[in-house]
Amino acid sequence: MPEAYGFTGYGGPETQRFLALPKPVPGPGELLVEVYAAGVNPVDWKVRAGMHRAFLHLDLPAVLGREVAGVVEQLGEGVGEFEVGDPVFGSSARGCGGYARFALLTARQTALKPAALSFTDAAALPVAVGTAYDAVGQLGLLADETLLILGIGGGVGVAAAQIAREAGVSVIGTASAAKREFVESLGATAIAYDRDDFDEQLEKVLPTGVDAVLDLVGADALDGVSALISPECRMLTVAAPETAARFGARSLSRQNSTKTLTELARRVEDGRLDPHVRGVFPFEEAAAALREVESGHPWGKVVLEMRRG
């Protein structure tokens, strides 16, 4: 039975494989959890590709994955807010390690999982939904303002749309034409980026521009909507720093606290937020799950399931 899935060298998918590694040992401020589910995110393949090497130093081979839901197996020194046997969800310690039977979490970025919240939904919250929550907050959106989400169909965009709509914000999102009904089910207006009349759609839906832009695509996505961007427009982006600077946009940043995770779980419990986990892959199909995300066209959130809770 495979214990972990990761990569042996920086590069493409050919470096990925199942790994036989010893059970991790929690350090100060860490939890060891038996993993029930792990979220799959674009950042995972970017780590494998070496795009984060400047600030994330890993010993290879390394295990992929930044968000986990599971049951506490062991407590590290100084961890007093959790007990062995607690169901929890949170962010992988040391930057990765979630695609595994056992993983380390950082206690201050971990929360108790409510009984009504499934492990697969919980595993979608720390990175994707947490990023959306922080982004909407950082944009300072007010009721009746307009938010344009570039790449609304993925895990972050789906959550950001719901959070913004709850605050009374009008949400417009770019996605493939195939996702139109899905985007509209979120209470957002869809603009198909893969149609020849993309510019005409933008002008029709947003004749006076937008108050804020959340760019989850990066690359040259902001260039494609530059006509809508006024000096007063607030922008957050995943694009490279030079692109962000050219548009006066800020890079996405995370708070990623226990308080935030607890609030997100509460919203899922009471029905205000749906992480839209639409792709659940068994652990043995980790390569296929990551390939789905790396393709850039997932519907909602993709999660690996290690065991059923």
Q: Is residue 309 very low, low, confident or very high in pLDDT (cuts 50, 70, 90)?
A: low
Residues of the chain with CATH 3.90.180.10: 4-124+275-305
pTM, rounded to two decimals = 0.86
In this prediction, residue 34 carries a pLDDT of 97
H or E, element range at 244: helix 241-247
Instruction: Out of 84-88, 118-122, 213-217, 281-285, pick the least confident.
Output: 213-217
Extract the tokens encoding 133.
Answer: 């929550």
- pLDDT tens digits along 174-185: 888 888 898 899
DSSP state of 152: T
Q: In whole angstroms, what is the distance from residue 105 CA to residue 94 CA? A: 8
Residues of the chain with CATH 3.40.50.720: 129-251
In this prediction, residue 242 carries a pLDDT of 82
Fold assignment, 4-124+275-305: Quinone Oxidoreductase; Chain A, domain 1 (3.90.180)
Q: Is residue 265 very low, low, confident or very high in pLDDT (cuts 50, 70, 90)?
A: very high
- pLDDT tens digits along 143-197: 999 999 998 988 889 899 999 999 999 999 988 888 889 889 999 999 988 888 8
Residue 296: pLDDT above 80? no
- pLDDT tens digits along 110-144: 999 999 999 999 999 998 899 899 999 999 989 99
Fold assignment, 129-251: Rossmann fold (3.40.50)
DSSP of 120-144, one letter per residue? HHHTTIIIIIHHHHHHHHHHT--TT
Q: In whole angstroms, what is the distance from residue 25 CA to residue 33 CA? A: 10
Residue 200: pLDDT above 60? yes
- pLDDT tens digits along 16-51: 999 999 899 999 999 999 999 999 988 899 999 888
What is the percent of the chain where pLDDT is above 90?
52
